[in-house]
């Protein structure tokens, strides 16, 4: 963590209180709000917006939070259009990296401002925010992993109790919604849509699935934007076999009357560790579906074998046709 420089500056009279709010944040949205709000306060120019970008393993940047008390139309299009570090570095925005122990978590950025104070203050603020981000991420990951382990254990038992995916989904759906803080979940498998909670309409879901099937460069985890914002699609695959898609849905992260609709459309609703956990659940579901398919096939074989076995007495007792040779011998 960077050294906190103590200066007599009226603009930083509440700095320590703001830092305490950062350290007391209980989730990523609250921390994002406090970080962007505090930096906005420090920049003096009150209509200077502050944006927070999350760095994805793919190398992309996604806007996850935006704070502004006023309207600064001049930079809204630029802020909402940034999708990579290269674009950020070539923009007019001033940015600061949120560097973790092993990787860069993201960047906080703002347009040029009238701030003339020491950059040590901002560096200290960013260091404190990154420290809290690391703690929150570790805590959230541990909690989700524990819940997913419980879900996996129960799934393995249910394979022997239930005969179809609908029964399993009905048993586990609320647990999965709670794990991912999702308003709705849909499982698209074998040509059927299994929906529960607050989900898009069937027409919208079919649009998303059509786009997924036509995208030749798709990855295993995709977050939708624009009119499908808040949707996370995870491929269900096992040993090269595509079993369908798991779709998780969230409402927009926040609404703010001062935020332009273009900013809203660019906002991401899912963090990297959440997408990774969704991948784990998708793998468990793919394994469950495959096991159910094998179980169904075995039952069909058993039924067929039983039917054939029941026909044997009838076959042995049926009159045998007499050949012409046998007739001549008589």
One pLDDT digit (tens) per residue for the chain, 330 residues: 444 444 445 445 566 677 777 777 888 888 888 888 888 877 755 567 889 999 988 889 999 998 887 655 678 888 989 999 999 999 999 899 998 777 889 999 988 876 656 577 778 888 888 888 888 888 888 988 899 898 888 888 877 777 788 888 888 989 999 999 999 999 998 788 998 899 998 899 998 998 888 765 667 889 988 778 889 999 998 767 777 899 999 976 544 545 556 787 788 889 988 999 999 999 988 888 888 877 666 666 666 666 666 666 655 555 555 555 555 555
**Stated pTM of the model:** 0.77
| 202 vs 255: CA distance, rounded Å | 26
Q: Both tokens of residue 277?
A: 């956990």
Contacts 24+ apart (CB under 8 A), 141-150: 141/273, 141/277, 144/179, 144/180, 144/273, 144/274, 144/277, 145/277, 145/280, 147/175, 147/178, 147/179, 148/179, 148/277, 148/280, 148/281, 148/284
d(CA 194, CA 160): 21
Strand partners, 6: none
Same topology between domain 10-134 and domain 162-292 = yes
Map out the domains of the chain as residue ranges.
Answer: 10-134, 162-292
Of the candidate CATH numbers 3.20.20.210, 3.30.56.10, 3.60.150.10, 3.30.450.270, the domain formed by 162-292 belongs to: 3.30.450.270
Cβ 148 vs Cβ 280: under 8 Å? yes
- Find out if CATH 3.30.450.40 is the number for domain 10-134: yes
Write the CA distances from 275 to 241, 293, 296, integer angstroms.
21, 27, 31
pLDDT of residue 4: 45
C-alpha to C-alpha distances, 84 to 61, 75, 261, 269, 292, nearest whole angstrom: 5, 17, 21, 17, 42
Helix (H) or strand (E) holding 19: helix 15-23
pLDDT at 57: 83
């Amino acid at each position: 963590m960077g050294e906190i420089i103590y200066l007599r500056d009226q603009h930083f009279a509440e700095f320590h209180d703001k830092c305490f709010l950062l350290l007391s944040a209980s989730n990523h949205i609250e921390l994002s709000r406090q970080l962007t709000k505090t930096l906005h306060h420090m920049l003096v120019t009150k209509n200077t917006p502050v944006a927070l970008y999350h760095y994805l393993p793919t190398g992309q940047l996604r806007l996850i939070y935006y704070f502004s008390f006023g309207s600064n139309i001049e930079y809204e299009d630029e802020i909402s259009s940034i999708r990579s570090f290269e674009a950020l570095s070539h923009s007019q925005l001033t940015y600061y990296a949120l560097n973790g122990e092993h990787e860069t978590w993201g960047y906080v950025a703002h347009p040029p401002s009238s701030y003339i104070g020491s950059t040590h203050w901002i560096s200290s603020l960013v260091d404190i925010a990154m420290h809290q981000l690391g703690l929150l991420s570790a805590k959230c990951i541990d909690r989700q992993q524990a819940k997913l382990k419980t879900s996996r254990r129960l799934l393995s038992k249910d394979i022997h109790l239930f005969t179809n995916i609908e029964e399993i989904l009905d048993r586990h759906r609320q647990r999965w919604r709670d794990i991912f803080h999702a308003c709705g979940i849909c499982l698209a498998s074998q040509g059927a849509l299994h929906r529960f909670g607050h989900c898009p309409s069937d027409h919208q879901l079919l649009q998303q699935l059509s786009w997924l099937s036509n995208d030749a460069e798709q990855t295993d985890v995709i977050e939708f934007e624009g009119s499908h914002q808040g949707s996370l699609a995870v491929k269900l695959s096992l040993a090269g076999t595509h079993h369908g898609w798991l779709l998780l849905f969230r409402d927009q992260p926040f609404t703010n009357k001062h935020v332009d609709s273009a900013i809203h459309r660019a906002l991401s609703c899912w963090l990297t560790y959440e997408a990774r956990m969704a991948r784990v659940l998708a793998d468990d579901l793919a394994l469950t579906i495959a096991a159910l398919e094998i179980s169904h096939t075995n039952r069909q074989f058993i039924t067929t074998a039983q039917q054939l076995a029941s026909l044997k007495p009838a076959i042995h007792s049926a009159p045998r046709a007499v050949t012409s040779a046998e007739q001549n011998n008589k």
